[in-house]
Amino acid sequence: MELREYDFITCNKDFIGDDQYKYIDEESFSELENLILTFKNGEEADALEFFSLTLKRNVGKLIRAKNYVGIVQMKNGTQIQILPKIDAVGVTDTKRTFLRMLKSMKDFPSKIFTDTNLKLDRMNLYELFINLYIQDVRGLVKKGIKSSYYLVENNSDFYKGKLIFSQHIKTNIVHKNRFFVGFDEFGVNRVENRLIKATLIKLIKISTSAENKKEISKLLLSFELVDASKNYEKDFSKVLIDRNTKDYETLMRWSKVFLLDKSFTTFSGNTSARALLFPMEKVFEAYVGRSLKKVILDTGWNISLQDQRYYLFERQFALKPDIVMEKNDNSRRIILDTKWKVLESNPKSNYGISQADMYQMYAYAKKYKTSEIWLLYPINKDVTNIEKIQFKSDDDVLVSIFFVDVDNIEASLSELLRVMDV
């Protein structure tokens, strides 16, 4: 099942094929509802940040996707793919743009991949992430799987290395002729390779792509001499990324996502359903910030992302504008803040801009001592013909609105710089 941000999901059969709602069967709907309601709040975000539950007359229960994008896998096999609401592009182009946006995020493992290597038209987002992992493993195998000394612990008929006394007493209280020992051995059975093999074994079971399964089967042949990790948490604690293990850095981050169902905004309730979702507010912020750094390179400007030099009150309530641009000679300063929200064309409603956002921009202007404030929103068809939106306070703080075309990011940001006369 495929939907976009803010689409409604129903299990009412009367609305199969309706443009307003996305239909799923009652079992899958109930499971998703249960996942949301039974979510146990821990380190991760609350599930109600991802979905909202409502009731509508003549329709029944509705689940609405919020501004999180990714994949939800139900225990009955149903997959719900949520795509970003990027204007005027098809599904394949949306996935391509979204993956480009993800590359800009600091926590996203794969930074280098090409669109042509990915089967965007045939794979959902989760399968695309599996495919990215496959590409990275294939690259490692091509370079050569690294060997190292690793600790082996076993109950042996002969004494080798050092006696692990506590385990020896526990295991061999009857078998006096055996020794529970630990010793170093050199080979490919190092902890990183064990985690990769465990990841491949898990992925070949959960993947629904024949192509991905085939590639994983080939890769597993290269790990025949490696034991699959059994204790993921323990083995991840032993991973040390340095200049000798740099080739494993991306793979270990992906393995954590797949093996531990962690990283990004993965959550689960008391069912075996799982989700891998990305907050579009953060994705948009990272994409614009890092793309703007490229566009403005060598122009005499410095850019600070998530600047934290000021507080609203003394050492309390930190102000963190998304982007601060400053001339090298400190003669000019511009504050830019990104908002992943679809604005409307109606000036009577202030185009849908929230009052809280404007308060925030005014605070930035005062603390950073600048009157140049820009709010950046994604472009949509309702606002394409609007030439200019600006708000000016009686003390000369000017907040300007610019609509970013994420599908053509560099051209769009170049136009922003032209409008700002940078």
C-alpha torsion angle, residues 211, 221, 99, 118 (rounded to 10): -40
Here the tokens at position 188 are 């490919």
- Residues 223-267: pLDDT tens digits? 999 999 999 999 999 998 888 889 999 899 899 989 987 645 554
Using CA atoms, how far apart are residues 216 and 209, in angstroms rounded to an integer? 11
Q: Give residue 40's pLDDT.
A: 46
Using CA atoms, how far apart are residues 17 and 67, in angstroms rounded to an integer? 23
Kindly state the percentage of the chain with pLDDT values over 90. Answer: 53
Nearest C-alpha neighbor of 204 from the set 224, 225, 218: 218
Q: What is the pTM of this model?
A: 0.82
pLDDT for 128 beyond 80: yes
pLDDT: is 369 or 173 the higher one?
A: 369
Q: Give residue 270's pLDDT.
A: 44
Which amino acid is residue 101, in one-letter code? M
Domain 296-420 in CATH 3.40.1350? The answer is: yes
Alpha-carbon distances, residue 154 vs 140, 172, 188, 324, 365 (angstroms): 30, 12, 18, 58, 65
Q: Give me the residue spans of the domains in the chain.
A: 2-85+265-278, 296-420
